[in-house]
Amino acid sequence: MAYVRSHVLVCAGTGCTSSGCKAVEKAIEQEVSRLGLDSEVKIVETGCFGFCKIGPIVMIYPEGSFYCYVKPEDAAELVSEHLLKGRMVERLLYRDVQNPKPTAFFTDIGFYKKQKRVALANCGAIDAENIEEYIALDGYQALANALTQMTPAEVIHVIKQSGLRGRGGGGFSTGLKWEFAARSPGPIKYVVCNADEGDPGAFMDRSILEGDPHAIIEAMAIAGYAIGASQGYVYVRAEYPIAVNRLSIAIDQARQLGILGKGIFGTKFSFDLSIRLGAGAFVCGEETALIASIEGKRGMPKPRPPYPAVRGLWDKPTLINNVETFANIPQILRKGAEWFAAMGTEGSKGTKVFALAGNINNTGLVEVPMGITLREIIYDIGGGIPDKKAFKACQTGGPSGGCLPASLLDTPVDYDTLTAVGSMMGSGGLIVMDESACMVDVARFFLEFTQEESCGKCVPCREGTKRMLEILERITEGHGTPDDIDLLVELSATIKGASLCGLGNTAPNPVLATLRFFRAEFEAHVVDKKCPAGVCQALLSYSVIADKCKGCTLCKKVCPVDAISGTLKQVHIIDRAKCIKCGACVPKCPFKAIVR
Amino acid sequence: MLTVAELNEIRTRVRKQLRVRTNGSPVKIVIASGTTAISSGSRAVMAAALEEIAVKGLSTVQVEQREIDVPATEQTAVLVCAHGEEVLYKQCTPEMVRELISKAVTESAE
Amino acid sequence: MERIKLTIDSTPVEVDPGSTVLDAAKKAGVHIPTLCYHPELKLEGSCRICVVEIEGMKNLAASCVYPAANGMVVRTNSEVVRKTRKSIVELLLANHPEDCLVCPRHGTCELQDLSHQLSVRKVRFRGEKRELALDESSIAVVRDPNKCILCGRCIRICEHTQKVSAIGLAGRGSRAVVTTPFNRGLAEGPCVACGQCIKVCPVAALRERDASEQVWKALSNSTLHTVVQVAPAVRAALGEEFGLRPGALVTEKMVSALRKLGFNRVFDTQFGADLTVVEEGHELLHRLERNENLPQISSCSPGWVKYAEHFFPEMLNLVSTCKSPQQMFGALVKTYYAEKFGIAARDIFHVAVMPCTAKKFEASREEMGRDGLQDVDAVITTRELAFMIKEAGIDFANLPDSEFDLPLGMSSGAGTIFGVTGGVTEAVLRSVYEIKTGKELEEVEFQAVRGFGGVREAQIPLNGMTLRVAIVNSLGQAEKILNKIKAGEASYHFIEIMGCLGGCIGGGGQPFSKDPDIKQKRASALYRQDHLKRVRKAHENPAIKELYRSFLGEPNGEKAHDLLHTHYHARPRY
């Protein structure tokens, strides 16, 4: 067999797939073939690199050259220069926002420097559709070791010692959860992987399934051994076709090798996995709703207790963990609880994956040690706010979390601190907002989401979120009153306290947190009838500053509804009754004479 | 059914192939590329090097190519980096590189 | 098992393991308001009205589903609990029509009660209210999604108790609605019109299709001869609507009231029931002789018959071909009665008063008439009759007694007990035994078939053989037993299936009641009446004997077949 001197890794995560990585890969393949390099160079499709903004990404080893925004037209140059002649193609190498010099080796890139990749360790590093590559990087060693060298109780002990907490939002101790499920009596139990990732903008679970599906299979098999289950289900959104496909391939490969099935590694332990598709209902991320959905029922939560660990899927004891939680398991068993517990803070061990989105330079997926500050994530890794705008707030915890202001940028990111300041860890969405965001509007957006996604079962959530949304809409439309703010607070208490499931219990959080840190902005809307950020259309009124207007008529020409009148060299006037507040006139005015 | 021994066999075998991606091999052979090198026959030297590594089953060797700044007449240049030491060989032919690998590299590798 | 000790509002209380906080509160004498909770239904915990504070818990707990635990300290009326409950009612009212004064559930509405009980004085939320179309596709049941509060009781009784699933929840968030498959209306789905959903609906989102206007119109039309029949279960429940104690038997007052409403003849469906016993008994003996189409399954419950047509079409051959008492009666009114009294059938307007909504559907079946006339022209439920009596200004409680008209008002005790689960079986046994053996029964009361268990079995010695019978109430239980029969796991000679829990006394057209023992009370009223009857066996009813002698000829004979028997056909589910 020929020795392959160079590996070309093409990111084939969802992000890069949509920016065209498949065409790039094909073009590189053709070029490699045309230059007769087939036997020397191997092209590998990997999972997500995390830096989705600059995709398609191509990484060439052994040099570790990190090429971004690669187009199919670049393939010829890339192959002949880099692969044939050994010259890096500088124009395609990544450049930091702060540092215009191209960065060759990817670990030197600011975006990656402060990251600590555990759950994402294999994402972008291996061919997700090749079980052997996973095995080469110590894959399935933890399972082999657990099955042949450890008792189930010992496995659970290690997970407990590691301090791992659920990465899906709740932050419950994973080891305890395993222990509860293990203690529940019964010959039939289930392990379920919650891959119904639903927070707006979050895609860590998708990326792990796309980039490292075997880690999930291995972890679920370990969990099955630990609690006494021989069947597992992965509940994954049907909107994740790549993840579903790679996971199916991985399950097939594992079955073929005998890593799934009967008598794994020559022991008496048997375990198999099935995939169940969901349609992306947010509420199906809630354990009991997810179970109902797997059972073929409408995805609606049930009151707990009984908890799934006691009575879950088909009324059998069921362990449910989310994807990222499972992704940590093999490494914890391989490297030890101490290794894991050495990362993070007192109460929050290990790392956390975040999906950076919003007004931030480096959007994408990052994994950081717990305890890192928001500032480090946003500025050091995320590259700060674009267009020299000021930071206003960052939203964590998705629709269950809250917006934190600039004064809290040095807050360490861990479960307890985030909850204490009025937000929550959640599943890892991190949306950054600059000064142009209206916080009332942001609260309204999240309420709209939860109201849409409420299952409709319990009254506080179904009816309460609707009324909260109506109040917020009223405020953004300029019809709010100070009483409305009190009503919001009161409704929040009812919904939080009395809702049936976590969706309702946390639905008011985005409103409460914004009220806590940005109350003045709410008051500006209801008292002064002004939207300080200039977002709420109804509260805007455009006018011409007479001193600045030179009567150039540009604004008049661009106005789509003829709301601006005036003749050449005369001060123009905006008719507010006609104005539809489209804002088209503002950038047209060369003299900045039009104000909101 | 896979045994633990078989699992480890796969790990050992495929890990060798993946070493390229770690940039951490103890031994690197850099074969000169660029105009003067290629015209002096560096592609044949590369082919020979790769073949020799494959035949010998050397897993800790990494082959790179880049421009090595030597006079055109000294091409094809080959740089062998092993354990912190770099030795530059000039006017390498396919035969020479085979020998280089079987001697120098086999000794320092593994 | 060890008892659980907890404290509710500083009252210590002990309950059995498996009890909920609500159970414990009841035991401690503490009233916790509920809405989605219903003692006969699977727990849901969705309305959150019953929330309580439990020490150490971050959020409030729904007491109807929260398990009681040792050492638990519960507060059921703290400020946060009271505020939350009020705010939940307020939220419900904000999305509910404000037409209480003209609502048919005014006075029996649980939401109205709650609002009053919790002193909700104002609805502060002003916003969008649902505006959805009514589902009036069914002849028996009307759905008003705008009044629906999504407590899910109807879905639970339809899905779990009845195994019909004609309705379910669709849509998310505030657009969630209880609806029919593909939103095509009840008439297009497997709804069997049993009306159990109406009975558990706390508001007026589900109600019977009101036929009283039609009846009023007929009563005021002097060219029409109005004849009414009243089912046995009605007399055991009607009094509740007029403040009489549950279980009061109001037969004679009811007859007076119907006369006062203007009916020309007031007859008794129990006469039809007696006739059914004779026909069904002979049919059973016939099938037993030939050993075919066994077990024979009763056909008096129209909800059950429709259920069989939708869900067990392959077993329709087992269902007795006898029409129900209502329809046997109707057929006789338009033939026998018309001939005997020289009234043209088309001049007769025949009304049936039933405890049942499915009877409305049954009366409309195309098999149930002749010469373009339906045998029963209008069916009203017990509730509708009560509304009519009230509207007519009749002081029901103080009415004098009066008797049914003859001859179709004459009945035996066998006909009376048709109104309760097990009654059809007992009535058939009384007759079959005597017809088959030619001997007189020593004990007419078959205690073995009485009771309220979902499925009850009995073995009756009958002339050398053992007659195996089963009594089933509710369609969910029917599904179980029919599947067993299909699988060969059970075998019977006769099965009585009643669509509703408790039989007709628990029918979908009966008065709303909060009395947990209401079914027992109504049943004992019927058994009491049976006990007092001079004639207790259907075949001994002199009017029945006369009917066969002068009109029908032989039981199961040609004329009987033509008038009193029917056939069934498979219906699609969706």
The model's pLDDT over C294-331, given as tens digits with 9 standing for 90+, comes to 999 999 999 999 999 999 999 999 999 999 999 999 99
Contact A271, A262 (CB under 8 A): no
Q: What is the mean pLDDT of chain C?
A: 96
The model's pLDDT over C104-124, given as tens digits with 9 standing for 90+, comes to 999 999 999 999 999 999 999
Which of C154, C186, C209 is the endpoint of a domain?
C209
Contact C466, C446 (CB under 8 A): no
Look at A454 and C172 and tell me if their CB atoms are within 8 Å: yes
Q: Label residue B109 by pLDDT band (50, 70, 90).
A: very low
CATH number of the domain encompassing residue B56: 3.40.30.10
A137 CB neighbours in chain B (<8 A) are 15, 18
Does the pLDDT value for residue B35 go beyond 90? no
pLDDT value, residue B17: 85
Round to whole Å and give the CA distance between A303 and A506.
16
Least trusted range by pLDDT, from A99-108, A432-441, C334-343: A99-108
Residues C190 and C324 in one domain: no
Which of C161, C193, C209 is the endpoint of a domain?
C209
DSSP, collapsed to helix, strand or coil, labels residue A231 as strand
Residues of chain A numbered 74-113 and touching chain B (CB < 8 Å): 84-87, 105
Of A453, A467, A470, the CB nearest to C173: A453
Q: Averaged over C347-371, what is the pLDDT?
A: 97
Asked whether residue C117 is domain-assigned, the answer is: no
Q: Averaged over A403-417, what is the pLDDT?
A: 95
DSSP A382-441: T---GGGPPEEEEEESGGGSEEEEGGGTT-B-SHHHHHHTT---TTSEEEEEETT--HHH
Interface test with A, best of B8, B14, B55, B69 (most A CBs within 10 A): B14
Taking the CA atoms of C30, C36, C40 and C41 in sequence, report the sign of the dihedral they define: negative
DSSP C225-277: EEEEEE-HHHHTTGGGGGTPPTT---HHHHHHHHHHHT-SEEEEHHHHHHHHH
Token pair 């414990």 is found at: C24
Look at A259 and B2 and tell me if their CB atoms are within 8 Å: yes
Phi, psi of A59 (to 5 degrees): -120, 130
pLDDT value, residue B87: 87
Q: Which two tokens stand for residue C408?
A: 């179709």
Q: Averaged over C542-563, what is the pLDDT?
A: 96
Asked whether residue C203 is domain-assigned, the answer is: yes
CATH number of the domain encompassing residue C9: 3.10.20.740
Does the pLDDT value for residue A110 go beyond 80? yes
Nearest CA in chain B to A260: B1
Q: What is the mean pLDDT of chain B?
A: 85
Of A84, A86, A140, the CB nearest to B7: A140
Q: Averaged over C56-69, what is the pLDDT?
A: 96
The model's pLDDT over A492-504, given as tens digits with 9 standing for 90+, comes to 999 999 999 999 9
Kindly report the nearest CA distance between residue A472 and chain C, in angstroms: 12
Instruction: Please state, for a pLDDT cut of 90, what percent of chain A lies above it.
Output: 82
Q: Label residue A64 by pLDDT band (50, 70, 90).
A: confident
pLDDT value, residue A422: 86
Of B10, B53, B64, the CB nearest to A3: B53
pLDDT value, residue B106: 61
Which residue, A180, A172, A276, A273, is CA-closest to A226?
Answer: A180
Letter for the amino acid at B35?
Answer: T
Q: Averaged over C446-469, what is the pLDDT?
A: 92
DSSP, collapsed to helix, strand or coil, labels residue C385 as helix
Phi, psi of B38 (to 5 degrees): -60, -40
What b-and-e string marks burial along A272-294, b requiring 16 or more CB atoms within 10 Å of the CB?
A: bbebbbbebbbbbbbbbbbbbbb
Catalytic status, residue C300: yes
The model's pLDDT over C483-542, given as tens digits with 9 standing for 90+, comes to 999 999 999 999 999 999 999 999 999 999 999 999 999 999 999 999 999 999 999 999
Does the pLDDT value for residue B19 go beyond 80? yes
Does the pLDDT value for residue A137 go beyond 50? yes
Of A303, A464, A497, the CB nearest to C91: A464
Look at A460 and C46 and tell me if their CB atoms are within 8 Å: no
pLDDT value, residue A161: 97
Tell me which of C174 and C74 has the higher pLDDT.
C74
The model's pLDDT over A232-255, given as tens digits with 9 standing for 90+, comes to 999 999 999 999 999 999 999 999
Does the pLDDT value for residue B103 go beyond 80? no
Nearest CA in chain A to B34: A85
Sheet-wide strand order for A272-278: A272-278, A231-237, A190-195, A318-322
**Domains of chain A in sequence order:** 6-108 (3.40.30.10), 131-337 (3.40.50.11540), 351-434 (3.10.20.600), 439-526 (1.20.1440.230), 541-596 (3.30.70.20)
Does the pLDDT value for residue B104 go beyond 70? no
Residues C167 and C247 in one domain: no
Look at B14 and A135 and tell me if their CB atoms are within 8 Å: yes
Total tally of structural domains belonging to chain C: 3
- Interface of C to A at Cβ within 8 Å reads 43, 45-49, 51, 59-60, 62, 65-67, 80, 83-84, 87-88, 91-92, 94-95, 124-125, 127-128, 149-150, 152, 168-169, 171-176
Residues C166 and C238 in one domain: no
Asked whether residue C126 is domain-assigned, the answer is: no
- Interface of B to A at Cβ within 8 Å reads 1-4, 7, 10-11, 13-15, 17-18, 20-21, 23, 25, 28, 32-35, 38, 46, 50-51, 53-54, 58, 62-67
Does the pLDDT value for residue B110 go beyond 60? no
Residues C309 and C219 in one domain: yes
pLDDT value, residue A98: 63
Look at C94 and A467 and tell me if their CB atoms are within 8 Å: yes
Q: Label residue A280 by pLDDT band (50, 70, 90).
A: confident
Which of C185, C209, C233 is the endpoint of a domain?
C209
Contact C236, C515 (CB under 8 A): no
Residues C439 and C544 in one domain: yes
The model's pLDDT over A335-385, given as tens digits with 9 standing for 90+, comes to 999 999 999 999 999 999 999 999 999 999 999 999 999 999 999 999 999
The model's pLDDT over A486-532, given as tens digits with 9 standing for 90+, comes to 999 999 999 999 999 999 999 999 999 999 999 999 999 999 999 99
Question: The domain containing residue B23 runs over which residues?
Answer: 4-108
CATH number of the domain encompassing residue C157: 3.30.70.20
Asked whether residue C110 is domain-assigned, the answer is: no
Nearest CA in chain A to B53: A3
Q: Averaged over C420-446, what is the pLDDT?
A: 93
User: B and C: touch, per 3+ CB pairs < 8 A?
Assistant: no
Contact A327, A123 (CB under 8 A): no
The model's pLDDT over A202-227, given as tens digits with 9 standing for 90+, comes to 999 999 999 999 999 999 999 999 99
The model's pLDDT over C235-255, given as tens digits with 9 standing for 90+, comes to 999 999 999 999 999 999 999
pLDDT value, residue A201: 85
Residues C173 and C311 in one domain: no
B35 CB neighbours in chain A (<8 A) are 85
Residues C230 and C165 in one domain: no
Q: Label residue A1 by pLDDT band (50, 70, 90).
A: low
Cis, bond preceding A148 (omega within 30 deg of 0): no
Which residue, C515, C546, C549, C562, is CA-closest to C236?
Answer: C515
Helix H, strand E, coil C: the string for C494-540 is: EEEEECCCCHHHHCCCCCCCCCCCHHHHHHHHHHHHHHHCCCCCHHH
Query: Do β-strands C11-15 and C4-8 pair in parallel, antiparallel, or remain unpaired?
Result: antiparallel
pLDDT value, residue C378: 98
Q: What is the mean pLDDT of chain A?
A: 93
DSSP, collapsed to helix, strand or coil, labels residue A227 as helix
HSE at residue A526, side-chain half, CA atoms within 13 A, is 19
Total tally of structural domains belonging to chain B: 1
Nearest-10 crossing angle of helices A141-149, B4-18: 160
The model's pLDDT over B57-97, given as tens digits with 9 standing for 90+, comes to 777 788 888 888 889 898 899 998 887 788 899 999 999 98
Does the pLDDT value for residue A537 go beyond 90? no
Asked whether residue C400 is domain-assigned, the answer is: yes
Contacts 24+ apart (CB under 8 A), B5-14: B7/A135, B7/A140, B7/A141, B7/A144, B7/A265, B10/A132, B10/A135, B10/A136, B11/A135, B11/A136, B11/A138, B11/A139, B11/A141, B13/A132, B13/A136, B14/A132, B14/A133, B14/A135, B14/A136
Catalytic status, residue C148: no
Residues C236 and C250 in one domain: yes
Residues C318 and C387 in one domain: yes
Residues C406 and C460 in one domain: yes
Does the pLDDT value for residue C340 go beyond 50? yes
Letter for the amino acid at C165?
Answer: S
Look at B10 and A62 and tell me if their CB atoms are within 8 Å: no
Q: Label residue B18 by pLDDT band (50, 70, 90).
A: confident
Residues C413 and C322 in one domain: yes
Question: The domain containing residue C387 runs over which residues?
Answer: 213-564
Contact C305, C323 (CB under 8 A): no
Q: Is A486 in CB contact (< 8 Å) with chain C?
A: no
Q: Label residue A97 by pLDDT band (50, 70, 90).
A: low
Residues C42 and C166 in one domain: no
Does the pLDDT value for residue C443 go beyond 50? yes
Catalytic status, residue C367: yes
Catalytic status, residue C309: no
Kindly report the nearest CA distance between residue B75 and chain A, in angstroms: 14
Instruction: Please state, for a pLDDT cut of 70, what percent of chain C lies above it.
Output: 100
Of A458, A465, A494, the CB nearest to C87: A494
